Structure 1
Amino acid sequence: MMKRNTILSVMVLFAFAPQIGAPVDCNAEELMSPRTAVRLGLEEVWRRQMRIPAGAGSIVDQQIIVHEADAQEFVEVVTKATEGQESKVLFRIPTDQIGSDGLAIGKEEAERLARREVTMMARRYPDLSITSKTLPRIKLYTAANNGTLECRNAETGTPIWMTQVGDGQLNYGRMGIDDQFVTITNGGNLIKIDATNGEPITTVRTTSMPLYGAIHAGDFSLVPTIRNGVEGYPLRDITRDPFMEIVSGLALEPPTKSPTSSKIAWATDRGFVYVMELSGEPSVLFRLNTDGIVSGRIASADGDRFFFGSESGQVYGLRATRTGRVLWSHPYGEPFYKAPFLVNGLVLLPSAYGNLFAIDEKTGLGVWDQAIPNVDEIIGGFDNLLFVRLLSQSFAAIDLEAGKIVDIDNSLKPIKLLVNRSTDRLYLVNSVGTVQCLRAIGAESPTIRRSTDSGDPEDAAEEANAPEAATPAVPATDPFGAGGDPFGAGAADPFGAGGAEMADPFGAPAEAGNDPFGGDPFGN
């Protein structure tokens, strides 16, 4: 009996051996370890499990959105800046933090709490000051394939709201997001949600089947469709009608919006890049016949600038003026299938062969002596570091100034990518759907990444002298054949009679026989 108990004890010891020594992080292969973070000058801000049904594979879309119009005020306790050392934030509290009474504490109470902190830290830090700062709210939106949508504070990981919409048996698409609304496609339906509290508002039936989801620009939720074009559904103005724009070819990726206007750009499988204006009366401004198909998503920057690479190896910088202006176009000899990443005045673009090129935004010329090999995907970047996944699936950090890999972690293999193009934060997602947020050590306040542009006098003159209704560049021949124009003679308007007879697509249900979308989108 003694011998049997001894054997059982040894078996139990081996079974739990990993728990006896140093702690083992079961997600270490997908989330960053403290050792790697310290080596890269980073620190973990938060780590949270997303509310998704079946791990990262069930995530349909994740986006980090900076809500410029939705500002949040903070009261901070900071140290005095000295020679060679910047001031440091020791305490921070938002004025809208909820107190014990369930209401926002307000600035006066936040300052009182800050003064208390100053008193407690006076011995260690004799020269402290209390300041206030206003920052835009930064939120992380996640959509799952069962219709669960959640919104979190991207700086703290704190949940803001969660909702469930649509029919889980239908496919969900990419979310369109602005300060007021979130829209998401579900099969042939477009669902509108209140961005402040997650409450579903309305659902409309799209005329054609959506391809990728929605994007917000101007007053519209824009949906690329299988009908060689886009459809726009008004978000706020109930007097406006939906519209349809037919172009040459199917969209290859969702459109990209300019950060400084309501212009959008997208590429089609016919070798064209289209630019559309969504303010006023929506219209295509122009199209560019590119050298090779642009199959990667287009990147955007201030000044209505767009950047992209083609399958033939040509890389473009474009300004969306009324007639369109190619800022530069240079061949790089390798096919590009992915979206560029913009940081520090650089257009960073990995080729199909895994070579990462760094291109100057203003000139289109390469800034490194040679491309960095074996790069698969860009995850994020700030300060002078770019974080990437290599072709081996390992994590690496690149020095942007030197153009060299400075750190490789073969134990860290990011699987699901959450690319942050907006702020100086790095986000990693593991296979079970846990999100890890990292930042540079001590970088309490987020920096909103902007690719600034001073503009060009020639562009300003062109805009000033251009006629109100510029004639867009369109195909010389109708790509849909004679009589194919859905708005032409003899063709039925897919949105009904239009004008005053058009029902509000997000309003109350239309009376029988007047529904421009052909009845209840749910088939009731």
Structure 2
Amino acid sequence: MHASTKCHKSSLSFLSSRIAFLGSCAIVLALAPAPRDVRAGSLISYQDAAPLGLERVWFAQARVDVSRHRVTNWVLYENNLLAATNGGLVQSFNAETGETLWTTQAGPLDQPAFGPAVSQDYVALVSGASLYTLDRASGRLLWSTSLGSAPAEAPALSNTDAYVPFLSGRIESYQLADPKKPTWYFQSVGRIFYPPSVSGELVTWPTSRGYLYVGQAGAPHVLYRIQTNSVAIAPPTEAFGLLFVAVQDGNVHCFKLLNGNEKWRYSMGFPATGRPGVVGERLYVASSEPMLHALEAVSGQELWDVPGITHFAAQGIKNVYGLDEGGRLVVINKETGQYIGTLPGPGRFKAVFNDYSDRIYLVDDRGLVQCLREMGAVEPTIHRRVEAAAEKPSEEAVPAEAEMPATDEQLDDSGFGAPEASPFSAEPSDDSDNPFGFE
């Protein structure tokens, strides 16, 4: 046989074997399970949500470079849901549609950032040793200013001022209209590990020495301070002229806003995992036991408690929603506290704290956000307005603290203020005008 004919047959034989090999590979690949799309696999399907009376309204993805950064905080403020990364990127979503309204890089990418804080017109965060303020409507950077030293946590915003906490216990106020320098500062007793909180006309912040400071937000000065037997684990929640504070020893305290007197306290037995949520006349707080507790907000009377829930998420028309230890959504009957079900799937979600509306926002640190609602709840139910003015405390009944840094004599070797006796005795007194508690 001619050499060229042999070569031709050899080539055909090789080609046939390659085709057969590729065909077998195609069969194997067709039979093998498809690679799991992690992001798609994290989406809540209609089939999973419907048996629990829920539907997914929308989902969105925050802009984040996951090779370098993570979303560290989500904040709901009226019709805005805002995400902030540890690289200082802030993104604003329409909370009802999921539409991205704006995205702004505030501060350098390589500096840790805390925030965002939100008010009616402004958004603020701290990055490195600077405070950045954005226009809430457009996301435009309005100004930034150096703080002199690194802050301890996210700022808080009133309509006129930004409040920045420092680890030493110092808190500074900057006028939003003229931020060149702090207009007011105060040296607290103890260190600050949690961000301050603004509600109505009040600004409050807890310290590591068990003090809760209450100040006037619009014209900054301290009105009074409250001491508990343990450290607050989150900013307080204000409603009905009352302050609700969860502390590390497992107690939830309710104080009168006018004078700081304790109205009631409730023992959970385990530390809370977040701030109390007030929806209608109810207060919800979850503990590390884990357990979700439902109380009457004004009286402190227990309505029910449900085990297995570590975080409060939201209250709908029919049910209450929280997360279990695996980050799965748990559904509880609002009236009875009866367990209804758990959303199937791997979980690993976090929930945006929402005592403002009936929407449920499930998020993760890679920027995925999903909005759920009860079936048929086309229009959102608004539980309470963010900007509702708090009842103004009576300054005649609540002497202010000295608004100056602590002296060397007032600080112990650890940098904390000198210890003081607790202003509380064993039993509360509703009739006392003493702003520091009980007689």
Q: Distance in 1 between matches of 2:212 and 2:68?
A: 32
Q: Distance in 2 between matches of 1:279 and 1:432?
A: 37
Answer whether contact 1:275 1:287 (CA < 8 A) is retained.
yes
Closer/same/farther in 2, CA of residues 30 and 449 from structure 1, 3 Å limit? farther
Post-superposition, which runs of at least 4 consecutive aligned residues in structure 1 deviate over 6 A?
none
Q: CA deviation at 1:160?
A: 1.6
Give the aligned partner of residue 366 of structure 1: 302
Q: Distance in 2 between matches of 1:45 and 1:158?
A: 12
Summarize deviations over 1:280-325 as a string: whole Å, max 9, x none.
Answer: 3x11111111122222332232x4422122222222112321x323
Closer/same/farther in 2, CA of residues 202 and 5 from structure 1, 3 Å limit? closer
Matched, 1:61 2:61: no
Give the aligned partner of residue 436 of structure 2: none
Matched, 1:472 2:411: no
Summarize deviations over 1:51-95 as a string: whole Å, max 9, x none.
Answer: 1111896113221111xxxxxxxxxxxxxxxxxxxxxxxxxxxxx
Answer whether contact 1:56 1:431 (CA < 8 A) is retained.
no
Which of 98, 105, 113 pairs up with 1:172? 113
Closer/same/farther in 2, CA of residues 351 and 147 from structure 1, 3 Å limit? closer
Q: Which amino acid aligns with 1:37?
A: A
The DSSP-based 3-state class of the residue aligned with 1:482 is: helix
Q: Which amino acid aligns with 1:294?
A: A
Q: CA deviation at 1:455?
A: 12
Closer/same/farther in 2, CA of residues 5 and 292 from structure 1, 3 Å limit? closer
Closer/same/farther in 2, CA of residues 28 and 228 from structure 1, 3 Å limit? same
The DSSP-based 3-state class of the residue aligned with 2:409 is: coil
The DSSP-based 3-state class of the residue aligned with 1:316 is: strand
Summarize deviations over 1:85-130 as a string: whole Å, max 9, x none.
Answer: xxxxxxxxxxxxxxxxxxxxxxxxxxxxxxxxxxxxxxxxxxxxxx
- Stretches of structure 2 lacking an aligned partner (at least 5 in a row): 1-16, 412-439
Give the aligned partner of residue 254 of structure 2: 317
Give the aligned partner of residue 11 of structure 1: 28
The DSSP-based 3-state class of the residue aligned with 1:372 is: strand
Closer/same/farther in 2, CA of residues 443 and 273 from structure 1, 3 Å limit? same
Q: Distance in 2 between matches of 1:206 and 1:162?
A: 24
Answer whether contact 1:263 1:277 (CA < 8 A) is retained.
yes
Which of 162, 172, 188 pairs up with 1:221? 162
Q: CA deviation at 1:400?
A: 2.2
Give the aligned partner of residue 103 of structure 2: 162
Give the aligned partner of residue 352 of structure 2: 418
* Superposition pairs of residues 502-521 of structure 1, within 5 angstroms: none
Give the aligned partner of residue 44 of structure 1: 56
Q: Distance in 2 between matches of 1:358 and 1:40?
A: 21
Answer whether contact 2:62 2:367 (CA < 8 A) is retained.
yes
Give the aligned partner of residue 437 of structure 1: 371
Root mean square deviation of aligned Cα: 3.1
The DSSP-based 3-state class of the residue aligned with 1:387 is: strand
Q: Could you tell me the TM-score, scaled by structure 2's length?
A: 0.80
Q: Which amino acid aligns with 2:201?
A: S
Give the aligned partner of residue 222 of structure 2: 284
205-214 vs 215-224, which deviates more?
A: 205-214
Which of 215, 233, 256 pairs up with 1:295? 233
Answer whether contact 1:53 1:146 (CA < 8 A) is retained.
no
Answer whether contact 2:121 2:159 (CA < 8 A) is retained.
no
Q: Distance in 1 between matches of 2:45 and 2:365?
A: 16
Matched, 1:250 2:187: no
Q: CA deviation at 1:483?
A: 8.1
The DSSP-based 3-state class of the residue aligned with 1:10 is: helix
* Superposition pairs of residues 475-486 of structure 1, within 5 angstroms: 480-482=407-409
Which of 402, 406, 410 pairs up with 2:336? 402
Answer whether contact 1:219 1:237 (CA < 8 A) is retained.
no
Q: CA deviation at 1:231?
A: 0.8
Closer/same/farther in 2, CA of residues 425 and 397 from structure 1, 3 Å limit? same
Q: Which amino acid aligns with 2:377?
A: A
Matched, 1:233 2:161: no
Summarize deviations over 1:318-354 as a string: whole Å, max 9, x none.
Answer: 2321x32322223343333432222242222222221
Q: CA deviation at 1:190?
A: 0.5
Q: Distance in 2 between matches of 1:430 and 1:228?
A: 31
Q: Which amino acid aligns with 2:228?
A: T
Q: Distance in 2 between matches of 1:411 and 1:480?
A: 56
Q: Which amino acid aligns with 2:113?
A: Y
Which of 333, 343, 361 pairs up with 2:269? 333
Identity of aligned residues (%): 24
Q: Which amino acid aligns with 1:420?
A: N
Answer whether contact 2:81 2:92 (CA < 8 A) is retained.
yes
Q: CA deviation at 1:375?
A: 1.5
Q: Distance in 2 between matches of 1:55 and 1:31?
A: 21
49-58 vs 386-395, which deviates more?
A: 49-58
Summarize deviations over 1:406-426 as a string: whole Å, max 9, x none.
Answer: 102341413343222321111
Q: CA deviation at 1:431?
A: 5.5
Q: CA deviation at 1:239?
A: 9.8
Give the aligned partner of residue 243 of structure 2: 306
Answer whether contact 1:147 1:168 (CA < 8 A) is retained.
yes
Answer whether contact 2:70 2:366 (CA < 8 A) is retained.
no
Summarize deviations over 1:498-517 as a string: whole Å, max 9, x none.
Answer: xxxxxxxxxxxxxxxxxxxx
Give the aligned partner of residue 125 of structure 2: 184
* Superposition pairs of residues 384-403 of structure 1, within 5 angstroms: 384-403=318-337
Q: Which amino acid aligns with 2:208?
A: D
Which of 238, 249, 267 pairs up with 2:206? 267
Closer/same/farther in 2, CA of residues 449 and 57 from structure 1, 3 Å limit? farther
Give the aligned partner of residue 94 of structure 1: none
Give the aligned partner of residue 193 of structure 1: 134
Give the aligned partner of residue 90 of structure 2: 149
Q: Distance in 1 between matches of 2:289 and 2:410?
A: 44
Matched, 1:356 2:292: yes
Q: Which amino acid aligns with 1:471?
A: P
Q: Distance in 1 between matches of 2:291 and 2:410?
A: 46
Closer/same/farther in 2, CA of residues 181 and 334 from structure 1, 3 Å limit? closer
Q: Distance in 2 between matches of 1:49 and 1:207?
A: 35
The DSSP-based 3-state class of the residue aligned with 2:307 is: coil
Closer/same/farther in 2, CA of residues 276 and 30 from structure 1, 3 Å limit? farther
Closer/same/farther in 2, CA of residues 229 and 406 from structure 1, 3 Å limit? same
The DSSP-based 3-state class of the residue aligned with 1:13 is: helix
